[in-house]
Each structure stands twice: as C-alpha cells, then as structure tokens.
Structure 1
Amino acid sequence: MEGVINKSIKVNKYHVKNRIVMPPLVCFNWGDDEGFEIVSRAKHYGDRAKGGTGLIIVEATAISKDCRITDTGLGLWKDQHIRQFERIADSCHPEDSVVILQLVHAGMKSVGKNVYSSSNVEVKDKECLEMSLAQIKKVKEDFVSAAIRAKKAGLDGVEIHGAHGYLLSQFTSKVINKRNDIYGGSLDNRLRLPIEIVKEVRAAAGDDFIICYRFGVNDPTLEEDRYFAKELEKLGVDILNVSSGIGAENITVPEDYPFSPITYMGTEIYKEVDIPVICVYGIKEPKQAEYLLENEMIDMVAVGKGLLADPNWTNKAINGEDVNVCFHCSPWCKYGKDGKTCPWYGK
C-alpha cells in the first residue's frame, strides 16, 4: 500500500515525489496588519517538508491590502514581502518538496467596511458594490504582480484561488454574478475573469512556472464544472485543486460513497481532464488516502488538518506508522484562532 502514496507524479517540469499535498491552510493571527509574518512560516512549512510531503501549497496570500481574508494574513502586494517567501522556499526545497503559493482576492468576504464583488451584494455590516471595469483590470494586474514576486522568491508556482466563495468564485457563480457586461450573464462571460488571469499569469511567469487553480465546485449538476475544468486544461493550467464553491452544499453523492461531497466532486473532475487533480476535505488518515489512490479515483490527496496535527504525517503514512489523528476540536479548529493552541502543536 505504501507504494501508492509514494509514487511520484509530474507537474509541469517538476517530479513531485509522492501523492500527498499540504493544502493552503491559513494560520490565523500569525501575521501583522501589513501582511508580514510574526510566526515563522519557514519553520511551519519546512517541518511538513521534512515530514515527507511532496507538494506544499502555502496559505492564502492577499494580492492587495484591501482584499484580505483576514487582517493578520500574509501579503504579497509589495516587494518587501518577498523575503518571507524566500525563507519558505529555502526551507522546503532541500527536502525535495515542491512548494507553490495560493493567491487570493476575497471580494465581498474581504476585511473592511467597503468591499467589492462581481455585483452589488447585501453583506452584513458592509457595503459591497459591483466592481468597475477599471477595478477588474487592477485585480488582474495584482494577480500577475504577486505571481511574479512569488517567482522571484524562488517558489515553484502559484495557486489561483477560485473557490470558497471568494472573488473569482463570485464571478463564476450565477447566484452572485448579476452583471450585464462581458463579465456576466453567459457561462463564458462569468468565466472570463479567471481565464484572463490564468492567461496573463502564464504570459508573465513563463511556461516552467506551475499554475494551479483552486477549483470551487458551484454547480451540483457538474455540467458547468466539467466545462470550466476542460477550459482551464486547454489554457495550460498544470493542476486542479478541487474544493467547495458557492452552491456546494447542494451537491448530491451516491448513498454508498465513503467520503465527503467535496471529495466526490474532486473525483468527478478527475474523470474529465488529463492534468493532475487534487481532492480534499476530511482526509485525515493514511487508509483514506490509500483508498482513493489505490482505486485510481484521484491523482493526489490533500491532507489538511492531518498535517497540522502531525508534520510527519506523510513519512509515517509511507512507512505504515501511526499518525497523530486530529482531535476535531470544538467548536472549530484551534488553528482558526492560533495554531499554538492546537493540542498537537510542538509534539
């Protein structure tokens, strides 16, 4: 069984040494208001690299200060931010881990009282207005600038965040996007912004730079998702990381399916494209990852809270050893406040 997890896979020009992915998990309250870390991410991600993880996706990082998920999140909107990501690359690469960075614009979910989205949206305690064409142009420029900085930092690529109800998800979703211009209405119009961002990042960063797309499943019929996944493949996206999108709560799965609806959607997108696909959500024990890989249901498996609980999760899984199992802390994961309060932190 260990050979299934430990099998390498090619992503762009890189040979990822195994099938385990550390997904982008925000470390809340580990940064300051200017997007700089106050707790070392080089150690945080370096420990998971030492633990054997093949592909590490660094947590959601804002492309501008006014689009942050949290006011303590990492930023890459100015050159001064580059050094903290150089340290991450320097800590992970000696362990033969491939490391990329997730870039995000939170849209209507951004920190602050005045925010912007694909359309005017009613948001509690905020004013959310429709983006102008000039603002959309600036979003594209900010994604490209952040990707170039990530490359200068020595990272192997970027993941463009198009899931979890953040800005690009707000554009692709017909529930949120009510625009009447070229960015709204038809499916192709709603997909226009992420497609333009992918094209412009590729042109700026070059063919050897990994572009991953965090794919938010929005349509329970799968038809729009299938179409979008194929379009991203045609554009040269190297890997799809499938997670939840707007409307994901309406997904239906076969009664005997042993994993979450989000995992299911990842395995369905896997059938549609020839580029590597990552599935995620609730996969905490090696036997779960082994099942998905052994049965050729997916290319790679993202292990989130499992890797927070045990930096050595991947090596233990490969060697058939017991891993630290996440405690499912109530009412939510301790990393949602401060990772140092996790019962497994430092152990």
Structure 2
Amino acid sequence: MATVISKPILINGKEIKNRILMPPLVCFNWADDDGFQTVDRQRHYGLRAEGGTGLIIIEAAAVSKEGRLATSQLGIWKDEHIPQFAKIAQKCHQEGTKVILQIVHAGMKSVGDKVLVPSPIEENNTKDNSTQYIPMTLEDIEKVKEDFINGAIRAKKAGLDGVEIHGAHSYLLNQFTSPLINKRDDLYGGSMENRFRLPLEIVSAIRIACGQDFIIGYRFGVNDPTFVEDKYLAQELEKAGVDILNVSNGIGIKNLDVPKDFPFSFITYMGVEIRKAVNIPVACVFGIRVPKEAEYLLENDLIDMVAVGRALLADPNWTNKAIKGEDVNLCYHCKPRCKYSVDGHTCPWFKTLNF
C-alpha cells in the first residue's frame, strides 16, 4: 500500500527511500563519562532501520569533552569513538536506510566547572552559580571549528552518510547566532553577518574536509528577534553547503504568528515557513505521533520530510506500519518528560522490543 510517505527523496544526490526522518534523540545514561556507549546503539538504531525509517540522525555526539551537554553523552572527539558509529552505519545500510550523526558543542549548557560561552552572560541565563563561564577568545573559536571538522571527518571514517550540525536548542552555535546571548564586538558578534559567521565557517570547512558527496544537515533553531533573519541564515547555510535543514526551536522567538487553522505546533509551522526560503529539503518536527499527521504535511506539500521522534521510540516499526496503513504504538508522551531522557528502559513500550 503505497502512500505519500513512501515517496523517495534525494538529499545531495543520495536517495532516501521515504519521507520519514528519525531526529536525534539523546538516550541519557546510555554512555559513560568518556563518550562510549554502555547500551548497544547498533541495536537501538537498527530496530528503527528495520522498521523502514528512511533517514536516521544519530543522537547528539559531543565534538569535545568540555563541550558535552551531559556526562552520559556519546562522544566523537577522538578516533577511538569511531567503531561504535561504524557498527550503526553498517546495520542501517543493510536495511537500506541512510544515517548521519548529529554533532554538537553545548556552550553555556556544557557540563563542567569551567564552560566556554560566546560572551559574558547575565546571571539569569546561567544554569549553575558554581560554574565559571569563560568568554571565548578567537583561539577558542578556532579550536571549536577544528573540533567540529574533526568530528565530521570521524563520522565519514565510520561510514556514515553525513553529519547534522547542531545549531538549535540554545547550544553553542545557537548562542552565537542569537543577539540575546551573543554580545561580542568582534567579527563574531554584533551584526547579523558576524553572528552567523561561525556556523557558516564550520559548514564550509566540513564540506571541504569531507567532500561533495557527504551529507551536511543543520539543526536549525528559529531563534532571532525577526523571522527575516532566520530566513537569511537558512539561505546562507544553503550557499555554504548545507543539504537539508531540520527545523526546531532556538532562543527567544516571541513574534511568530501561527495561522489559527494550522493544525500543528508553532515549531512545526517554523519548518513549513523556513522551507519557503530555501531550495534544499526541509524537515519539520514536534509532536507528530500518528501517520495521518505526517501524511497531511506531505500531501499538502508543506514540507519535504517529517521528523518522527518519540513515536519512533514507542514503535520502531512506525514507518513500515504507516506505509502499510497499519495502527502504530501510540507514544504516551510521559510526564514530566520522555522516559528516554532518563533511561529508555523505563519507556512503557521498551519491554516490547526484545532489546
């Protein structure tokens, strides 16, 4: 039973077999303090590949130990991390699924006693009064760029199809692009062009280092005071070499008017609107749990790919079931937060996985 979900799409010349994307969903407490998995990610992502998902974005991997968003986060800051991702790539490719790795530096949200930030920050923006927040020098910025580049090179060596650069959710690159956080007065702050400089330089450098056939995605945080600036950044990312935008929330947007008849969240709407500004595929996300919701977005040509997150945690076979018209396991949207954000084994559906 063919549906609009099953229609292939090209991303940088690589055919993705359908329009369902698994966004990066960090499984906290599934890795040790040195960035190595303690729970088998080949099995975790392999189940979603077996379930038909077209493109999988592996959860955020830290490009440096000092830039981790959690002590139990996967790492890609040294060559010894490569094998754990190579196993994921091998399994996903066996199922005809393309797979890329999200790479991140958490900036002011990093764990540790001393944390690098774009510029001095106000107390109400800090996560912990005991943490020392250190404004980045130009040398620090160069080091971060190298860390992102090296992380992408390691992803390529692992056999992955590409990387997604994390520029949303108030992490470092999002902090640089946002005038609410970035108060620098040099070439990386102030004007819109200066605030956008770091992510654009990283994209351009990864394209050179990893070649033309390597997918570069960007987790795009709609985060500026005006949507006009967001659209400009999206266009500049496309020019720099980004192949797909995965649109989510960022910092401080207050003035986005969502039409009353739009049936999904404002985060989903942001993806729909950003798509109008670029000529590369765009994915939208947030709270899409059942196939009819993905079908609506695709059938009405509102988006290129639909990112199905928690629903794919609840049902690894979500994509195949959606294509066949079968009922899916319905995510319970556990409160106060998804069980996978603490330990996936406590998800109500986990016991069905034979993990």
TM-score (norm 2): 0.96
RMSD between aligned alpha carbons?
A: 1.0
Q: Is the 8 A contact 1:220 1:252 kept in 2?
A: no
Q: Which amino acid aligns with 1:300?
A: M
* TM superposition shift of 1:256: 1.8
* Corresponding residue for residue 161 of structure 2: 156
What is the Cα deviation at residue 249 of structure 1? Answer: 5.4
Q: Measure the CA separation in 1 of the matches of 2:225 and 2:268.
A: 13
1:111 aligned residue: 111
Q: Counterpart of 2:31?
A: 31
* Aligned-pair CA distance for 1:248: 3.6
User: Which residue in 2 is equivalent to 1:133?
Assistant: 138
8 Å Cα contact 2:226/2:253 also seen in 1: no
Structure 1: 4+ residue segments shifted above 4 A:
none
The one-letter code sitting in structure 2 at the alignment partner of 1:218 is N
* Inter-partner Cα distance in structure 1 for 2:22 and 2:256: 25
- Match in the other structure for 1:265: 270
Distance in 1, matches of 2:52 and 2:213, equals 24
* Alignment-derived partner of residue 287 in structure 1: 292
Shifted more, 322-331 versus 154-163: the winner is 322-331
The match for 2:227 among 215, 222, 230 is 222
Q: Cα deviation per residue 1:277-334 (whole Å; 9 max; x = unaligned)? A: 0000111110100000000000000000000000000000000000001011111110
Distance 2:142 2:164 in 1: 19
SS in 2 for 1:116: strand
In structure 1, how many angstroms separate the alpha carbons of the residues matched to 2:231 and 2:118? 22
Contact 2:226 2:255 in 1 (8 A): no
Q: Contact 1:106–1:166 at 8 Å: present in 2 too? A: yes
2:318 matched residue in structure 1: 313
Equivalent pair of 2:179/2:224 in contact (CA under 8 Å): no
Taking the aligned partners of 1:300 and 1:308, their CA distance within structure 2 comes to: 18
Which residue of the partner structure matches residue 213 of structure 1? Answer: 218
Number of residue-to-residue matches in the alignment: 347
Aligned to 1:94: 94
CA change 1:10–1:291 in 2 (3 A) is: same
1:306–1:193 Cα change, 3 Å? same
TM-score (norm 1): 0.98
| Displacement of 1:2 | 4.4
Give CA deviations for 1:67-116 in whole Å, capped at 9, x if unaligned.
Answer: 00110000010100000000100110010000000000000000112101
Counterparts of 1:1-347 in structure 2, within 5 Å, are: 2-121=2-121, 122=123, 123=126, 124-125=128-129, 126-219=131-224, 221-248=226-253, 250-347=255-352
Residue pair 1:220, 1:251 contacting (<8 A) in 2 also: no
AA of the residue aligned to 1:15: E
Q: Give the gaps of 5 or more residues in structure 1.
A: none
Paired letter, 2:46: G
SS at match of 1:346: helix
Following the alignment from structure 2 to structure 1, what is the Cα–Cα distance between the partners of residues 40 and 242?
Answer: 30
Q: Where in structure 2 are there 5+ consecutive unaligned residues?
A: none
Could you say if the C-alpha distance between residues 73 and 289 of structure 1 is closer, same or farther in structure 2, counting changes exceeding 3 Å? same
